[in-house]
Amino acid sequence: MWGGRFSASPNALMQAINVSISFDKRLAAQDIAGSQAHAAMLAKTGVISSGDAAEIQRGLSEIAAEMEAGTFPFRDEFEDIHMNVEARLRELIGPVAGRLHTARSRNDQVALDFRLWVREACDRSAAQLEALQGALIAKAEAHADTLMPGFTHLQPAQPVTFGHHLMAYVEMFGRDASRFRDARARMNECPLGAAALAGSPFPIDREMTARALGFDRPTANSLDSVSARDFALEGLSAASIAATHLSRLAEEIVIWMTPQFGFIKLSDAFTTGSSIMPQKKNPDAAELIRAKVGRILGSLTSLTVVMKGLPLAYSKDMQEDKVPTFEAFDALELSLLAMTGMVADLEPNVERMAAAAGAGFSTATDLADWLVRELDLPFRDAHHVTGAAVKRAEQLGVDLSDLPLAELQALNQGIGEDVFKVLTPAASSASRVSYGGTAPDQVRSQIKRWKDTLR
């Protein structure tokens, strides 16, 4: 492509470090779309003739068909996707192919292709997050009344419902989806027409190409257009946060699956066996999702370090933007799909969860609240009396609700039989009717709100 200035071919190592076609072939569809829009604009503005533009479009369609059929010849000697497409175009339509690169550089070309790719990846991620929310909501609806222990410090804290717990993730994944949508809105400006770095002397119409490629407007500064990769950083940071949420849910699935907890079952479809221990059923998919955040956050770190300290405008360092970004979105996408499948697949052991919900004196706060409400104790005093009741129950080896009334009355004379009504996990959870609380009716109204939002 630059034979005019060069008389010798590159050293094999030069080619080895420079070549990017093995990975940037994933930008093929975006590269062709960008070229189609560019060629149409060049014809419309009279920069090239409409006859030449028609030839170019015909060649590009043929290339698109070759890509589709898997017959396109990707060749290392043409370095990257942009030059592979252009070289093939020349083979298909002859020297007129050389007119396509008028008023364009690989710098704005790659900035465009990559932005289009990241934009699509963000759209896909948001849609997959919404599908995962759908699976969680369906499960939450079936289990809006299913009691389980709520934890802090992974110690039993207060009874909640399984539906409530699942809906907590619906909130997280909802914010994750909206982060992708926000990032998309900011990145939706078209860099094509910035050319190498300074803009173009040709009478190009950047509004036209921007519109044709689904952008809101062209980017406003040519130097920034070819230098910016913060759209990818933003996509990767949204991906990292989503992966963090996925890893938390994955970890809970791993814990819930242990025989010690025994809260849920996964079918054979989402577990694996052991080659030596016949009894095993392992939650490998959950473990791998828990681990993928390493790769995804690693990609964000990797690209951030590539970009830091780079002078304007384009530097070849920026070719290193693609692998981490592709890898992160591949990992996220697979994690989202696997998690969606796993959530639909998992079945809680309702009896076991309910039994655990009452263990560990989980209704102690309800006793304290009852003392405040019924006997008008200051909360601190109620907390003290309840602590003593828990201590006594522990000594006797019983749950709070099985403590003889006389034992409670020894701590406070005013306590009557009706206190036992608030000491069951079901009563405890049903009482938490504050907005966003765990009472089944609250959970159901959050489920309804989300269903309306996602519809």
x-or-dash string of contact with ligand ARG, 9-48, rule CB under 6 A: -----------x---x------------------------
Among the residue ranges 51-59, 124-132, 310-318, 398-406, the one whose residues contact ligand ARG (CB under 6 A) = 310-318
Among the residue ranges 46-54, 292-300, 313-321, 413-421, the one whose residues contact ligand ARG (CB under 6 A) = 313-321
Q: Does 106 bind ligand ARG (CB under 6 A)?
A: yes
Considering beta carbons, is residue 80 or 145 the nearer one to ligand ARG? 80
Q: Does 80 bind ligand ARG (CB under 6 A)?
A: yes
Taking the C-alpha atoms of residue 44 and residue 74, their distance in angstroms, rounded to an integer, is 31
Q: Does 86 bind ligand ARG (CB under 6 A)?
A: no
Catalytic residue among 49, 50, 267, 274: 274
399 token code pair:
């749950």
Whether 153 is catalytic? yes
Considering beta carbons, is residue 80 or 234 the nearer one to ligand ARG? 80
**CA-CA distances (angstroms) from residue 294 to 241, 252, 297, 307?**
11, 18, 5, 20
Q: Does 424 bind ligand ARG (CB under 6 A)?
A: no
Among the residue ranges 102-110, 242-250, 277-285, 370-378, the one whose residues contact ligand ARG (CB under 6 A) = 102-110
Site for ligand ARG in 343-362 (CB under 6 A): none
Residue 364 CB partners (closer than 8 Å, separation 6+): 386, 387, 389, 390, 400
DSSP readout, 315-341? Answer: -GGGGGGHHHHHHHHHHHHHHHHHHHH
Taking the C-alpha atoms of residue 411 and residue 395, their distance in angstroms, rounded to an integer, is 15
- Taking alpha carbons only, the member of 263, 243, 245 closest to residue 253 is 263
Taking the C-alpha atoms of residue 147 and residue 137, their distance in angstroms, rounded to an integer, is 16
Q: Does 314 bind ligand ARG (CB under 6 A)?
A: yes
Measured in degrees and rounded to the nearest 5, phi and psi for residue 216 equal: -75, -30
Residue 388, amino acid: A
The footprint of ligand ARG on this chain (CB under 6 A) covers a number of residues equal to 10
Contact (Cβ atoms closer than 8 angstroms) between residue 159 and residue 150: yes
- Taking alpha carbons only, the member of 241, 219, 222, 247 closest to residue 231 is 219
Q: Does 325 bind ligand ARG (CB under 6 A)?
A: no
Minimum gap (Å) between residue 320 Cβ and ligand ARG? 8
Taking the C-alpha atoms of residue 232 and residue 111, their distance in angstroms, rounded to an integer, is 11
Catalytic residue among 7, 153, 275, 434: 153
Minimum gap (Å) between residue 27 Cβ and ligand ARG? 8
Considering beta carbons, is residue 24 or 176 the nearer one to ligand ARG? 24
Q: Which residues bind ligand ARG (CB under 6 A)?
A: 20, 24, 80, 106-107, 110, 314, 316, 318-319
Could you give the residue numbers annotated as active site?
153, 274
